[in-house]
Chains A and B, each alone.
Chain A
Amino acid sequence: MNIVVDIKNVSKAFGSLVVLEDVSLKVEEGENMVVFGQSGTGKSVLLKCMVRLLEPDSGEIYIEGSNVLNLDHKELNNVRKHLGFLFQGAALYDSMSVRENLEFPLIRHFNFTPKEREEKIKSVLEKVSLEEAIDKMPSELSGGMKKRIGLARSIISEPKLMLYDEPTTGLDPITSKEISSLILELQKSLKMTSVVVTHDLLCAEIIADRAIVLNNGIVQHAGTITELTTSSDSFLRNFFSHEIVEDQNRRN
């Protein structure tokens, strides 16, 4: 299998606080990799290092064979154009309508005619079942709708790699399940590779092919969700018992 993401010994510290320490990770083409961990264990930092929103202190990060840490600004932007990133709060541009949000990457990077752009916008809105929101402003959307539109904006340029930062945080269990199923559906239909940072077990159960668990900045465990949740390791048992209780509370 082709390796899409190859992270080698990445470390990152903020002052004296070490957030990532020698983290290594390989993600194969078409795979859904979930990164688990408690709050503050560096999951989002790892994701942001992958697109160089943060600069790691050491290590190497290869995306589709290019070490993103060695690329100049232009080369880096070329890599970024071919990946999608769904932020925790969806990060829709407040001053733009849904249509303008979706149009933004198309106008900036592609030479589509207005008609082709309109077709693409309608097509992604249909995929996330929000055709009626096309002329709404982000402030008029609910949390779940924002996530869907954020997802639509990320996939409109048909990326090969999708990065999700806590895609279900702040959503009710039903919407959370819907978003997770939508992510899986899109991943299958668009044949994307995904890295999903989450601490939502339900989301991970739906999406994940494989998962890693970060603790104190290091990759403590790796495996399938079943392997991790049924492990006899005390840390994992403790971690997932909390997750399961939290998850059951949310389901109830």
Chain B
Amino acid sequence: MKDSKSSTRKVSSFNKRLTEFFIMIAGLWKFQLKFFKELFIPPYEVEQIRKHMDELGIKTLPIVSVTGFIIGLVITMQMYPVMVRFGAEAFLPGSVGISIVRELGPVITALIFAGRVSSGIGAELGSMRVTEQIDAMEVSGVNPFKYLVVTRIFACTFILPILTVYVIFIAFVGSFIAVVLVQNMSYVYYLDSVIAGVEFGDAIPGILKTFVFGFIVGIVGSYKGYTATNGTEGVGKAATTAVVVSSLMILIFDMVLVKITLWLWPTI
């Protein structure tokens, strides 16, 4: 009897979570439709977009710099013994370069960006929602969705690709230092190997998908914050779930985008 009650409770809790999940997906879908509708209606709030891009870039720069450097360094050190085993150590810079440019650089930068920015947007907008600042803006005749949400999503979408290019560069610096440490390779030889291994076409799908990742971070953070309820508890929940949902969506979309890229450009 006790077991059956407990399993019924588990089933109903699962159903509740499943319902909440689908409500969130529908909410995100409606939210992004509203974003595209509002995006093309003036005023364009260029000053706010510039301000958010500055803030987001500066906020994330130190952490992505450190991460990029460590990724380049560690991946190179990890791959070196494997390449030696196959007698292919000359290909080390090229193969590390490909993995950084095509996958590690974009995805790791996006995940760090999600952790830093999505939670920040969720908390900031959530706090504005529960303290009626968003209502105050609306009553004053200003469109809060346009002023607060559209500008943030736009800034996220365009700042993440820039950060990714920077992280890739820093990762190469880390990788070069590792190569010098383990192989005593010259700068010129390292650069030659990278250029020979990594083609320009390798960078395109990697950079292109960061626009999608940036959009995901912006839309999830804004949605969670803008629709926050239940006071300070709701603000905390908005910040936490924004990170979880955006990180998960980045990984899922990465999988889909890699598949699409390989299907569209099989030679890349």
Which residues of A are interface residues toward B (Cβ below 8 A)? 48, 51, 53, 73, 77-78, 80-81, 83, 85, 87-89, 91-95, 104-105, 108-109
Contacts and interface: CB of A to CB of B under 8 A. Distances in A.
B141 A91 contact: no
Contacts of A104: 140, 142
Contact of B140 (A48, A73, A81): A81
A88 B138 CA distance: 16
A13 B144 CA distance: 25
Given A53-B139, A80-B138, A93-B136, 15 more contacts: A77-B141, A80-B139, A80-B140, A85-B139, A87-B135, A91-B135, A93-B133, A93-B137, A94-B127, A104-B142, A105-B141, A108-B140, A108-B141, A108-B142, A109-B141
Contacts of A78: 141
Contacts of B131: 89, 91, 94
Contacts of A95: 124
Contacts of B20: none
Chain A interface mostly:
mixed
Chain B interface mostly:
helix
Interface string B174-197: 000000000000000000000000
Nearest to B131: A89
Contact of B133 (A51, A92, A108): A92
B233 interface: no
B128 interface: yes
Contact of A85 (B127, B136, B142, B143): B136
B132 interface: yes
Nearest to A80: B141
A81 B141 contact: yes
A87 B140 CA distance: 12
A91 B131 CA distance: 6
A92 B140 CA distance: 12
B221 to A, nearest CB: 16
Contact of B132 (A80, A81, A89, A105): A89
B40 to A, nearest CB: 15
A105 B140 contact: yes
Contacts of A91: 131-133, 135-136
B54 to A, nearest CB: 14
Nearest to A87: B132
A186 B192 CA distance: 75
Contacts of B136: 85, 87, 91, 93
